[in-house]
Amino acid sequence: MEKTINISLKIWRQRGPKAKGAFETYKLDGVSTDSSFLEMLDQLNEQLIAKGNEPVVFDHDCREGICGMCSLYINGHPHGPDEDITTCQLHMRKFRDGETITIEPWRSHGFPVIRDLMVDRSAFDKIIQAGGYVSVNTGGIPDANAIPIPKPVADMSMDAAACIGCGACVAACKNGSAMLFVSAKVSQLALLPQGKVEAARRAKAMVQKMDELGFGNCTNTGACEAECPKNISITNIARLNREFLSAKIKD
């Protein structure tokens, strides 16, 4: 049987990057506990639109936890209180009847607010563009099985590659550091023979770009790992530091 709850929502509304924002409070009744958090926001927006108001703007797309488009700071946690999931996978059964839920955008120097809960994460693209790839062109490559890769190494690379680029790590970090994001890509590629060739150069280029874009330093608080919806490990940061150091030594 469908169960419903009534909730209050305290939501950050902000017209643009330079505008002053503020919390607005909304009441929402009859929310099915089977619905997802974003379906609850859809329901709120339908209610706002019915009254002729503008909906709350938030980023979302796949709604199955893989595209990395959804964000939201919910009750003080990136992607909400449940573990190992993105906001779109969060369900209303995790909330109580009568509860007030506070929703904010990612707050970080690197991610300016565009409108309400929508932020600009193009800095992540710029970091990848600086070196987050293996420099191969299409075609002219060896057979896929030409280089055997030990299964544990491939698995470790896959663990790092699972990053969805959502930015929760930056939002969770008191320094606004992007080290977990950068280290995940550096590790994924440095672990594989195909990416090893450029590992040091890649690490240096990506870290330089990260610094240039105004992300903060890493002080090993571990908040990023704790809030990462994909469980990306901070051991990747150690690997990034090794690659970065080796690039510096070569200079």
Partner 1 sequence: MSTDKNTKTIVAKVPEGALSEKWSNYKAHQKLVNPSNKRRLDVIVVGTGLAGASAAASLGELGFNVLNFCIQDSPRRAHSIAAQGGINAAKNYQNDGDSVYRLFYDTIKGGDYRAREANVYRLAEVSNSIIDQCVAQGVPFAREYGGLLDNRSFGGAQVSRTFYARGQTGQQLLLGAYSALSRQVHKGSVKLYTRREMLDLVVVDGKARGIIVRNLVTGKIERYSAHAVVIGTGGYGNAFFLSTNAMGSNGSAAWQVYKKGAYFANPCYAQIHPTCIPVHGESQSKLTLMSESLRNDGRIWVPKKIEDAQAIRAGKLKPTEIAEEDRDYYLERRYPAFGNLVPRDVASRAAKERCDAGYGVGSGLAVYLDFKDAIERLGKDVVEARYGNLFQMYEKIVDDNPYETPMMIYPAIHYTMGGVWVDYELQTSIPGLYCIGEANFSDHGANRLGASALMQGLADGYFVLPYTIQNYLADEIRTPRISTDLPEFVDAERKISDRVERIMSIKGKRSVDSLHKQLGHIMWDFVGMGRNKEGLLKAIDDIKQVKKEFWSNVFIPGEGLDLNTELEKALRLADFIEIGELMARDALHREESCGGHFREEFQTPEGEALRQDDKFNYVACWKYLGEDKEPAMIKEELNYEFVKVQQRNYK
CA dihedral 169, 236, 213, 125 (to 10 degrees): -80
One residue of 44, 101, 189, 228 binding partner 1 per CB under 8 A: 189
Asked if residues 169 and 68 have their Cβ atoms less than 8 Å apart, the reply is no
- Which residue's CB is nearer to partner 1, number 82 or number 225? 82
Phi, psi (rounded to 5 degrees) for 27: -100, 135
Alpha carbon 206 to its chain centroid, in Å, reads: 17
Q: Enumerate residues 196-235 that contact partner 1 by CB under 8 A.
A: none
183 binds partner 1 (CB under 8 A): no
Q: Which is nearer to partner 1, 35 or 235 (CB)?
A: 35
State the Cα angle at 237 between 73 and 158, rounded to 5°: 85
By CB under 8 A, how many residues form the interface with partner 1?
80
- Judged by CB under 8 A, the chain residues 80 through 119 that form the site for partner 1 are 82, 84-85, 89, 91, 93, 114-115, 118
User: What does the alpha-carbon distance between residue 239 and residue 234 come to, in Å, rounded to a whole number?
Assistant: 9
* Interactions with partner 1, residue window 120-179 (CB under 8 A): 120-122, 124-125, 128-139, 141-145, 147-151, 154-155, 157-158, 161-162, 164-165
Query: Nearer to partner 1 by C-beta: 21 or 55?
Result: 55
The Cα–Cα gap between 126 and 208 comes to 11
Q: Which of 21, 28, 66, 102 binds partner 1 (CB under 8 A)?
A: 66
